[in-house]
Structure 1
Amino acid sequence: MSRKRLLALAALSAIVAPAFAGTSALAAPADDSAFRVLVFSKTAAFRHDSIPAGVAAIQKLGEENGFAVDATEDANAFTDANLAKYQAVVFLSTTGDPVSQPEQKASFERYIRNGGGFAGVHAASDSGYTWSWYGGLVGSYFRNHPAQQNATVKMVGQGAASNRGLPNRWNRWDEWYNFRGNPRDAGVRVLAELDETSYNPGSGAMGDHPIAWCHRYDGGRSWYTGMGHTKESFSDPLFLKHLLGGIKMAAGAASFPCDPHGD
């Protein structure tokens, strides 16, 4: 090849190369555009009438934010092959023992151990009382609740996607769970806590009262919020920000700053 032709090729390379700098043969997908979640809302005890609104809201969040959503109330979905399709499983106000068969439980445990994500909403903590592994995953079990009322939520989990865009002191109406044990004792990072002076917590007053938290558990990611009892929650823009951030955290599509000693 002549020297003139070599110089011409070099000049062409100098023009074209910047357009491809930093790319690879297979471009990585956008951080929130290529994941799939399973919404599981089976109930074996009390059934919340907000579940249909919750499923629809999560489906809409998926449409608006570029992730796929499947929904089921069939625990037969808990197989190794099926769960492998999902980056997170959302337990939406499940109650009682919704995953009852040993092989279903074993598949979900393997899913989490392989790095899967769990997002629990409201009555997810009113589930699996005979499944101690699940109790560790969710962080604490439901104990009781007072009448629905307004309360002030203190958002304390700086840097967490589920807190982003929310007021530091968030006054809202919900059904406020008291828990059997303080989830801090399970090694969670608390993201939101209730100001018990702002409402009547009833006989289960906790003093230190976490209401949303996250932690790494048995190889996977777990995020939980005690909010979301009412149908109105799922049309509340602030709650939807909270829920979207939590789903993305559980799915690994947002950072997971869940060290219990974090700020």
Structure 2
Amino acid sequence: MHPIFKIKGLKYIKLLGLGLLFLTFIAAGDLPQVEKLHSLKVISFYSAKNDLAHISFVKEANEWFTTCSEELGFSYETTDNWENLNAEFLSNYQVVIFLDTRPEEPKQRVAFENYMKNGGGWLGFHFAAFALTPSSYPNDWNWYQNDFLGCGAYKSNTWRPTSALLKVENRTHPITLQLPERITSSPNEWYQWEKDLRENPEIEILLSIDPLSFPLGTGPKPHEIWHSGYYPVVWTHKKYKMVYFNMGHNDIAYENGSNKELSFTFKNNDQNKLIIEALKWVGN
């Protein structure tokens, strides 16, 4: 709970001091952030049909965002009906989240593009940026992959899901201000992309894999273990209110057939803080 809401339990002399502080906050313009968060309406789209690791993440994410909404006062709703991705439905929300996939129908894609171009907010996780031809999610949406995300097609990934040391590339951005220079992520399957985001002036990389993480991944295939290179994992596009997170793949015990969940994405304070600050920023 915000400190302002605890005034009733304080003595009179403290009340007077807090009253002056309250007026100072108003003058400084800090309180509107709290008010905007309390009026924020968020909708999450997901599929949760294929990879057990992604299904585990979606379930965890919906539970975590619901808890956060109750604590911070914003509205959080979910849907697996992508037909809801239309102008009328989206007009009710300030932020859209793609938890594990993307829209495939042309009319849904047009509705989302228009939503973003008209000031909507977006958070995307992990598989929401996956595109590979040939696959069930081909690289056939030029605006989304090449302009909006800027990364182009999926190229490769690490395996197994492992934690990584992440370097905060920009500590002056509103969503990274409270982070240290480096944070340790939850276990994740990390993606490599077709395009080098450092060459795109419209893209602002916020976090990347720190070289101290190498070798990253355990294999068993040699190409699933990264030994060098530059890999952005959180970024935004300067023309849009959006943040993409490469996180979103929980570790699952596939090998022994138990399919037990071995890791969780949201059991990480620094990473959670980053996501909440991103939600506030895109929803502002």
The interval holding the TM-score normalised by the smaller chain is 0.7 to 0.9
Identical residues among aligned pairs (%): 24
Q: Does 1:227 align with 2:247?
A: yes
**What is the SS of the residue equivalent to 1:211?**
strand
Write out aligned runs for 1:185-224 (5 A): 185-186=199-200, 187-201=202-216, 203=223, 207-217=229-239, 220-224=240-244
**Which residue identity does 1:167 align to in structure 2?**
P
Cα separation, partners in 2 of 1:93 and 1:46, compared to 1, 3 Å: same
**What is the SS of the residue equivalent to 1:64?**
helix
For residues 77 and 211 of structure 1, the distance between their equivalents in structure 2, rounded to whole angstroms, comes to: 29
Write out aligned runs for 1:60-79 (5 A): 60-79=67-86
2:158 maps to 146
**What is the SS of the residue equivalent to 1:56?**
helix
CA deviation map 1:123-182 (0-9, x unaligned): 221156211111122232432211222321011222334324333121233222222222
Matched pairs, number: 224
For residues 172 and 38 of structure 2, the distance between their equivalents in structure 1, rounded to whole angstroms, comes to: 21
1:36 maps to 41
**5+ long unaligned stretches in structure 2:** 1-22, 132-136, 217-221, 251-262
For residues 142 and 172 of structure 2, the distance between their equivalents in structure 1, rounded to whole angstroms, comes to: 30
**Which residue identity does 2:59 align to in structure 1?**
P
Bigger radius of gyration? 1
Normalization by structure 1: what TM-score?
A: 0.76
Cα separation, partners in 2 of 1:103 and 1:216, compared to 1, 3 Å: same
Cα separation, partners in 2 of 1:44 and 1:131, compared to 1, 3 Å: farther
For residues 223 and 158 of structure 2, the distance between their equivalents in structure 1, rounded to whole angstroms, comes to: 8
**Which residue identity does 2:170 align to in structure 1?**
G
**What is the SS of the residue equivalent to 1:224?**
strand
**What is the SS of the residue equivalent to 1:30?**
helix
| 1:65 positional shift | 1.4
For residues 134 and 243 of structure 1, the distance between their equivalents in structure 2, rounded to whole angstroms, comes to: 21
Q: Is contact 1:164–1:245 with CA below 8 Å preserved after alignment?
A: no
Q: Does 1:156 align with 2:169?
A: yes
Q: Does 1:245 align with 2:277?
A: yes
**Which residue identity does 1:42 align to in structure 2?**
S
Cα separation, partners in 2 of 1:44 and 1:184, compared to 1, 3 Å: farther
Q: Whose strand fraction is larger, Structure 1's or Structure 2's?
A: 1
CA RMSD after TM alignment: 2.6
Cα separation, partners in 2 of 1:74 and 1:188, compared to 1, 3 Å: same
Q: Give the one of 179, 184, 189 matched to 1:171.
A: 184
Normalization by structure 2: what TM-score?
A: 0.70
**Which residue identity does 1:132 align to in structure 2?**
N
Q: Give the one of 129, 137, 162 matched to 2:148.
A: 137
Q: Is contact 1:150–1:199 with CA below 8 Å preserved after alignment?
A: no
Q: Is contact 1:149–1:199 with CA below 8 Å preserved after alignment?
A: no
